[in-house]
Structure 1
Amino acid sequence: MPSSLWTHDFMDEMRTRMDPLADAVIERLFTEGKVDAVNRLMRTLVENDDLPSSKLPPYVMDYLASTRASVPKLDPEKLRQGQELFDLFGPEVMMILGFYSLPAAYAARKGVQVLYRTGFLQKRPVRRVFETAQMVVDVMTEGGLEPDGRGVCTTQKVRLMHAAIRYMIRHDTRHPWDAQELGEPINQEDMAGTLMTFAFVVLEGMKALHIELTSEQQEAWLYAWAAVGRIIGVDERLIPANVDEARQLTRLIRQRQVAYSQEGVAMTAALIEGMQALTPDLLDGLPASMIHFFLDQDQWQGLNVADMLQVPKPDWTAIIPQAVKYVSELTDWVGDNTFIAAKLLRFISKDIVEGMLLVERGGQRTPFYIPEHLQDRWRIKAGTRAANARRRSETEATVMFMAAQQKTSEQNDSSQKVA
């Protein structure tokens, strides 16, 4: 059982382990002095959805073939259940990724150093949100984890990009990397922790938002992401077999790695800036409010991670997640306790997804892509800002309605106490 291996000594060792397969490809490119080839490879990885063979050295193509061949044979029913969960709650998953998964990753003092060194998020704060969301869409769309699926291709690219970043950081003579203190860049523990932000942390986020999932749905979601972990090069011993093990692994890594860092604060500030660009002006304070909602939770063992990351104090938008929680708890009073809360969540999360479809990614990057059937399922119109504006006004009206409900209930509670 993998969890029996998860001791501090074992995890310390994992901080010295990287990814020999992908690292060997990048090492060869650099040692052969093919700087132009490295630059072409990185541009190809960034700018294209596929990996055209005419632009890649033969041994890069060998890497792609070998990693494609190693894609695990998956239980089609379990995979279908996991991907169906994304069909149902994709916009909410996107919101959790932006407001919970990413800031949770920035709270890891050692792991965040790599992201800070690359600097791309601070220059273009929306980019990390795009890249994270695009990987999830590619992986969790039907067919994405077939050997030639879009999700497998995206994961192969991310694995090579990790190796290239790892090489450049380890060979940066101007700013030497302190492997003894930080571990190797993008090491196995940090890779496992990142995998859990897509897998278990998303399940935590759904629970916090009172999206009730069956145990079968939770296991299916984890099953799909365990497959991604294998494709992206996570050590088999760090891939949980079930939700309980995922919980154990996530908590252990948090205990070991969550701590204050200036870099984590800077990355979180850039993330908030980026997410504000994807939300209506009316809801400018929503990113900070939502991050507080998720990172003030009990699973952080008394540590207020949002305050540690210096997230601005919530404004009036803090009522939104609290209203979702409040309405979801009013089973007897509301009757259908999920309808209003679910409607409010979908208004907000659809705005974020539509913002991603409307905002330019910058440079020569391919645009953010969501398959048509998911856009139809989520009722998203990618090209109409008018629809966006209408949904924003509906969001405002719904929020006002929720606030009035909460105020009335509080007054009733006070009257009962007086009586």
Structure 2
Amino acid sequence: MTDSQTLSANWPPSRGDYTEFVSRFGQERADRYAQAFHAKDPVADALFSGDRSVREIMPNLREALVAGRATENTFPEVAALIEDMASALEGIDEERFERGRKVYLSIPVIQHALAVGPGSLVHTYSTPAIADLLVNTGELTVGAIKRLSYTTNWTFSLYLPDSISRGGKGFVHTGMVRAMHAHVRRVHTTRGLDYSDWGAPISEFDMLRTWFDFTYIPYKGLRNMGWSLSKEEEQDVYYLWKIVGRMVGIPEDLMDGQDDIESSEETMDAIHSVDGLPNENTQALIDALMHGFVVNANMITGLPEDTLADWTAAYTRIIHGDEKADLHGISQSLMLPIIQMNVPSVQERFDLLRKDEEALSAEIKNNEEMVRQLLNEEEPAYLNQDKAPEQV
């Protein structure tokens, strides 16, 4: 039996037909995805594969992440994770990474919140491969507001100066997010939950798909909202997220060639072809997400929740289009035509801003300060997994 025949035999049944995938996207991509459906993150999984409990591992990991390196008290499996993350920073183009950070901060924080909340997370939950996993491991809709805050917290931590350097806030948060993924896989395995229809839980493929929820999905959505970037700016943002992706455990070869929106189109088509159809779990999570975003926005702005719900639905439709919005039960919005009429003016102002170096620097500084203010200093659950009841 050839390697391709072996991979074909291991193609998860809910991922569609292997032969059809090959005809559309090629043998090389099909074989790599067949591997990625089952591959996990052995470096992070080693944290929970030995005899040490979560309550022993997590404080040791936090201490090492904050220090940015292993000490004489660091467990070997923790030291291995720290060094694997640090290897992603070797040879980094710091100037380019900084440009990517500033591209993010050139766009108002609330617009990014829309693109990553109703934009990215609607896309995240739209496949049963992820939605079923969240439900099976107890991450039900009641936790949607907190999960939205956790995602925001992590991403905000990445956009502060020197954040991903050893011991930086982004370094710490990214390491703990990676550990959280490993912990979920551990819980899933310990409970004996069946995930064979999709592959491994939080597989390499799942992590790649989620990587696009911080690159392709939000920045294509921002285009529709009037915040279109140049190709170079898109590529700088993608570069930043390639570094973060490697730190969080995504193999480099899966991200190779994904450099901007246009170069990602075929990969997104390939990913969506194996997503499966939305089910009751995807819809429940999307409904909870939309409500959670409105609740969070109300806490920040003080505006009435019904007004914010209409506003959020309008932008969700702009980001995803009516067909996908209808598929996911996004309500119609009275604000939609008004917002759409203003998109060209938003783009014009954004283009003018980027031509004025002084004004752009001031905007970046203001948005960075807002990120600092909104960064929740109450540690999210992924930083405190050892303080929760043990999950088995």
- TM-score w.r.t. the length of structure 2 is 0.74
Q: Helix, strand or coil for the counterpart of 1:315? A: coil
Q: How far off its partner does 1:183 sit?
A: 0.8
Q: How far off its partner does 1:364 sit?
A: 7.8
CA contact 1:68–1:148 (8 Å) conserved in 2: no
Counterpart for residue 97 of structure 2: 79
Write the distance in 1 (CA, Å) between the matches of 2:176 and 2:382. 14
Q: Residue 138 in 1 paired to residue 157 in 2?
A: yes
CA contact 2:311–2:335 (8 Å) conserved in 1: yes
- Pairing 1:360-375 to 2, within 5 Å after superposition: none
Write the distance in 1 (CA, Å) between the matches of 2:328 and 2:164. 35
Q: How far off its partner does 1:178 sit?
A: 2.8
Q: How far off its partner does 1:267 sit?
A: 0.6
Write the distance in 1 (CA, Å) between the matches of 2:173 and 2:38. 26
Change in 2 beyond 3 A, CA 1:62/1:4:
farther
Q: Residue 22 in 1 paired to residue 23 in 2?
A: no
1:197 paired residue among 205, 208, 213: 213
Change in 2 beyond 3 A, CA 1:128/1:142:
same
Change in 2 beyond 3 A, CA 1:219/1:361:
same
CA contact 2:215–2:238 (8 Å) conserved in 1: yes
Counterpart for residue 95 of structure 1: 114
Write the distance in 1 (CA, Å) between the matches of 2:379 and 2:169. 22
2:269 paired residue among 251, 254, 257: 251
Counterpart for residue 370 of structure 1: none
Q: Residue 110 in 1 paired to residue 110 in 2?
A: no
Write the distance in 2 (CA, Å) between the matches of 1:4 and 1:152. 36
Give the residue type in structure 2 aligned to 1:252: A
CA contact 1:15–1:189 (8 Å) conserved in 2: yes
Give the residue type in structure 1 aligned to 2:99: Q
Q: Residue 314 in 1 paired to residue 339 in 2?
A: no
Counterpart for residue 275 of structure 1: 293
Q: Report the number of matched residues.
A: 334
Ranges in structure 2 where 5+ consecutive residues have no aligned partner: 1-24, 298-302, 354-362, 384-392
Write the distance in 2 (CA, Å) between the matches of 1:79 and 1:116. 36
Counterpart for residue 226 of structure 2: 210
CA contact 1:107–1:305 (8 Å) conserved in 2: no
Q: How far off its partner does 1:271 sit?
A: 0.4
Write the distance in 2 (CA, Å) between the matches of 1:44 and 1:103. 34
Query: Cα deviations across residues 321-361 of structure 1 (Å, max 9, x unaligned)?
Result: 323335458x7xxxx69789xxxxx9xxx9xx79x949997
Write out the 4+ residue segments of structure 1 that deviate beyond 3 Å after TM superposition: 3-6, 39-54, 118-121, 326-329, 336-340, 356-366
Query: Cα deviations across residues 40-73 of structure 1 (Å, max 9, x unaligned)?
Result: 545888999948989x861343134322431232
Counterpart for residue 376 of structure 1: none
Change in 2 beyond 3 A, CA 1:7/1:232:
same
Ranges in structure 1 where 5+ consecutive residues have no aligned partner: 298-303, 341-345, 367-419
Q: How far off its partner does 1:119 sit?
A: 3.4
2:320 paired residue among 295, 299, 323: 295
Q: How far off its partner does 1:79 sit?
A: 0.7
- TM-score w.r.t. the length of structure 1 is 0.69
Q: How far off its partner does 1:117 sit?
A: 2.6
Give the residue type in structure 2 aligned to 1:318: L
Give the residue type in structure 1 aligned to 2:266: Q
CA contact 1:289–1:315 (8 Å) conserved in 2: yes
Percent identity reads 20
Q: How far off its partner does 1:247 sit?
A: 2.9
Q: How far off its partner does 1:294 sit?
A: 1.6
Write the distance in 1 (CA, Å) between the matches of 2:308 and 2:92. 41
Write the distance in 2 (CA, Å) between the matches of 1:362 and 1:315. 35
Q: How far off its partner does 1:212 sit?
A: 2.7
Query: Cα deviations across residues 250-297 of structure 1 (Å, max 9, x unaligned)?
Result: 221122215211111011011011111123213232222322222226
Change in 2 beyond 3 A, CA 1:328/1:184:
same
Counterpart for residue 54 of structure 2: 38
Counterpart for residue 358 of structure 2: none
Write the distance in 2 (CA, Å) between the matches of 1:148 and 1:360. 16
Write the distance in 1 (CA, Å) between the matches of 2:242 and 2:108. 19
Change in 2 beyond 3 A, CA 1:69/1:357:
closer
Change in 2 beyond 3 A, CA 1:315/1:238:
same
1:58 paired residue among 75, 87, 90: 75
Greater radius of gyration (CA): 1
Write the distance in 2 (CA, Å) between the matches of 1:136 and 1:143. 14
Q: How far off its partner does 1:148 sit?
A: 3.0
Q: How far off its partner does 1:231 sit?
A: 1.0
Most deviating of 56-65 and 243-252: 56-65
Change in 2 beyond 3 A, CA 1:6/1:230:
farther
Please give the root-mean-square deviation of Cα atoms over the aligned residues, in Å.
3.6
Q: Residue 324 in 1 paired to residue 342 in 2?
A: yes
Write the distance in 1 (CA, Å) between the matches of 2:209 and 2:44. 19
Change in 2 beyond 3 A, CA 1:178/1:365:
closer
